[in-house]
Structure 1
């Protein structure tokens, strides 16, 4: 039975909520009680976070090759593995096992994102309802907010992981019932054309790498910062919910700005807004500062993710798959470096101020690079159009 475009988008929302909003980001609100109960150092906490991002990178690269079986089968496998890894986090106190589980969860998250997007967005485009893609991507923010609200009602870190796993299972089952099987794949002959890397793309890829570092330190340690500051500790149950609330509509809002002023200028604006949120997280330890940090972080990171990938498609010639894969690798590398660096610095200095200041500086540089990329891109695009124009 054919699904309506709205139903398909809602199915994608549920898959994104389970695999990304819960599977990837619930670690942040669970981290503080885990650190206290298990006496983890900040370096160990950052290492666990980075293991997840290593897995995400591996999953993204693996999903980019032709895998046997249907895309829906791989989506369901990712949703199942995600729930299993969430539940298994509650049954161990071993750092090594935590690293393995979060790495596998990262692979699962990448599969959920890539295969749900492939299944849902293709069909939305075919029906002329591409605008509903924003509903699909809003699942990340909804998953963050729902899981944060859930774990805020619990006191034990083990029960937090188990409850999150149960929530992910519910969302995954509903997504499996809604998202239909994909059509039979068509055989593709020949090798994909070699990816051509323009100077505009290289600058954008560096900006995307800096975005990966810039957002992930705050995304990993925001709740830990709130918990460790007596004046704002009462906001711990709400801060990560606010991140999700900010994330839910962000793709719609930044996409609208991108259509008005251009994709890369919008990327620059979002980078500066996010830099302000990162600074607020460590320099404004009051109620309003926490609210701004959470909303600015949540309100930009998914928008920046989408804008960067759209920009990559436009920043060169030929098949864009290679450029998108390189962007994913650059972003993932930034996410891997950020938490480990911040954790090591925290253990040495007792503060996340310096890592956050460097992260904010990186986001400002990312804004400048995206503007520079925008200035190069029009000439590249114009030259390309001229090259393709037949002589009359």
Structure 2
């Protein structure tokens, strides 16, 4: 008994050290690179760095980059190795923050915001495939939740860290975010798990060409609709509280901090839920709660109600990642195929997130700034994701019954 204890301790530390590295990567590449921009929008306009229209235009750069990164993540990891590509992407985000502190031109700023999005998309694709194989299957939901807790911490930091930094000036705020990203990159540098030999190309092709469960395509569709459903709260919540409800910028910022608290709670809670209930059932419960929450948001105006709804909504963007990963592990048994499937799921998510961002902006402008309409559309997207599974199951059963009847008639 005594001789096994050190081994157990080493095994546990060997699991949690890579998880810490993954948390740092998601914090830098998703939490800070994307969400720290939201509270910086008013200062960018007030400081006359860019016009209001240009700032909104620049906000799309990270989403477009995220899609490019989701497509490029696996080829980059194959070229450089998982560990080197993750370190390079974290350094890219840090460098982009320092570069954004120098508003040389719109093209310069757009290019660096685009690069930060590319880094975030690549991190999202590669980080889980790097760490989760080190984790026992029964703990992977919780582990993936811990990894993407970093995204939630980044959302919370965007509401709590950025305002104090702004007291030092807008340029120093960007530099401070860059310094934080560098510290996290350095802290995680040696924590990544040792790289393994890459399988032979022919073996990889054999894996990729295996038949894919139809339920995987259903997950892709659900994940894409989730992306479309999370955008309005992510983009318009603060503006809805501050201007739509005339509560003021201070209350809007406070609601955003509360949203960030939900983002911290979400990943680990959803991952734990996936371990206990299974990913499929957990996804259904989460989707139902989110659809109802968005409807309530469109009609709520008290601070207490908004605070509760903000926590629930904040848990969703980072929380659905471990759920989707857990569902992929349920449906796809082979490790290499899991990587391919997760990459494709991330691409579907990134595509619809980018498209939804432009679509909601157009609808918002066309409706004269109707916030509640945005939340109701989002609720519809989430509800569609919820009913997609039973609808597809019904269609599949009907198709199988028709084939059986036709077969019986012909015989």
For the aligned pair, the TM-score class normalised by the smaller chain equals 0.7 to 0.9
For 1:360 and 1:80, locate their aligned partners in 2 and report how far apart those are by CA, in whole Å: 37
Deviation at 1:113, TM superposition (A): 3.0
| Aligned counterpart in structure 2 of residue 166 of structure 1, from 175, 179, 182 | 179
For 1:14 and 1:317, locate their aligned partners in 2 and report how far apart those are by CA, in whole Å: 28
> Which stretch of the first structure deviates more once superposed, 317-326 or 60-69?
317-326
For 2:129 and 2:219, locate their aligned partners in 1 and report how far apart those are by CA, in whole Å: 24
Q: 1:336: which partner in 2?
A: 354
1:139-158 per-position Cα deviation (integer Å, ceiling 9, x unaligned): 21122223321112225544
Q: 1:150: which partner in 2?
A: 161
Task: Choose 1 or 2 for highest CA Rg.
Answer: 2
Please give the TM-score of this superposition, normalised by the length of structure 1: 0.83
Structure 1 residue runs without a partner (length 5+): 379-392
Matched, 1:351 2:370: yes
Secondary structure of the 1:204 match is helix
| Aligned counterpart in structure 2 of residue 230 of structure 1, from 233, 246, 252 | 246
Q: 1:327: which partner in 2?
A: 345
| Aligned counterpart in structure 1 of residue 264 of structure 2, from 239, 242, 248 | 248
For 2:98 and 2:35, locate their aligned partners in 1 and report how far apart those are by CA, in whole Å: 15
Alignment map for 1:168-247 (pairs within 5 Å): 168-190=181-203, 191-192=205-206, 193-194=208-209, 196-228=211-243, 229-247=245-263
> Retained in 2: the 8 A contact 1:267–1:370?
no
User: Structure 1: which 4+ aligned runs deviate by more than 6 Å?
Assistant: 374-378
For 1:276 and 1:89, locate their aligned partners in 2 and report how far apart those are by CA, in whole Å: 38
| Aligned counterpart in structure 2 of residue 25 of structure 1, from 21, 25, 35 | 35
Superposed CA RMSD in Å reads 3.2
Q: 1:273: which partner in 2?
A: 289
Structure 2 residue runs without a partner (length 5+): 1-9, 398-411
Secondary structure of the 1:271 match is helix
Deviation at 1:376, TM superposition (A): 8.6
> Which stretch of the first structure deviates more once superposed, 251-260 or 308-317?
308-317
Deviation at 1:275, TM superposition (A): 2.9
Matched, 1:363 2:382: yes
Deviation at 1:330, TM superposition (A): 1.6
Deviation at 1:114, TM superposition (A): 3.4
For 1:290 and 1:98, locate their aligned partners in 2 and report how far apart those are by CA, in whole Å: 34
Please give the TM-score of this superposition, normalised by the length of structure 2: 0.80
